[in-house]
Amino acid sequence: MKVVVCDDAAALAEAAADLFRERVAGAPDLAMAVPAGRTPRRMYGLLRERQARAPVDYAAMRVFSIDELCPPAPADGYFWRQVRSEFLAWAAVPAERCHPFRVDAPDLEAMCRAYEEAIARAGGLDLVMLGLGPNGHIASNEPGSAFDSPTRPVRLLPETARYILTDEVSQGAVSDRAVTLGIGTILRAREVVVLVSGAAKRGPLERLLDGPVTPEVPASALRLHPRCTVLADRDARP
């Protein structure tokens, strides 16, 4: 596992934007699961700013979700709405190359199986970029999630639902049910990048990097991945 410590949140966003652009430029048809939440927000802003000065062609990439809240979240997806507004709205990725979770499906288990099949048809995920939850969760894989878990419906812990609501860009009600890429799905990706910002993430990051590898710390599974990079700011990793 490679750990890159950035001076601050702004430098972290710069490093993440650099990596994102480099990966797409190097493989225009990149199959990538893209993050939502507060940490990636500044990265998306930088990507948009740089696109005006030095364009990258995003049109051939395949965009997948990390996770999504079930209703009563917005009909177009709580997390996917952010991805659409902050990235897809200007990146010109065709709709047919975008793969949001269909949380309005009558059978979420079947929808998640179909999602795994869509990833397989894409040749697998080239890159998963995600954040780190306060209790060590990755995507919506809460403590206790098996390391071989597939994409599936899950129940969020109350602390996770409360944490989502602390985002300054609130999008309405937060369900305690979600669908998520499984830890096994994430570990099969060819590359994983984790964005970690702020003093509140210091404890989770320590458990990711230095604690036991255990399902009680879902992020610790990433130490088993052959190509995982953690981008952290100094508040999270002094």
DSSP conformation letters of 108-163: HHHHHHHHHHHHHHTTS-SEEEEE--TTS-BTTB-TT--TT--SEEEE--HHHHHH
Whether the Cβ atoms of residue 157 and residue 136 lie closer than 8 Å to each other:
no
Domain boundaries, position 145: 2-233
Q: Residue 89 falls within a domain, yes or no?
A: yes
Element housing 199 (H / E):
none
Q: Residue 238 falls within a domain, yes or no?
A: no
Least confident interval from 25-34, 82-91, 171-180: 171-180
CATH of the domain at 123: 3.40.50.1360
User: In this predicted model, what pLDDT tens digit does every residue of 79-94 receive, in sequence order?
Assistant: 999 999 999 999 999 9
Contacts of 3 (CB under 8 A, 6+ apart): 209, 229, 230, 232, 237
Say if residue 169's pLDDT is above 70: no
Supply the residues annotated as catalytic. 67, 135, 137, 142
pTM assigned to the model? 0.95
Question: Total domain count for the chain?
Answer: 1
Least confident interval from 25-29, 43-47, 132-136, 162-166: 162-166
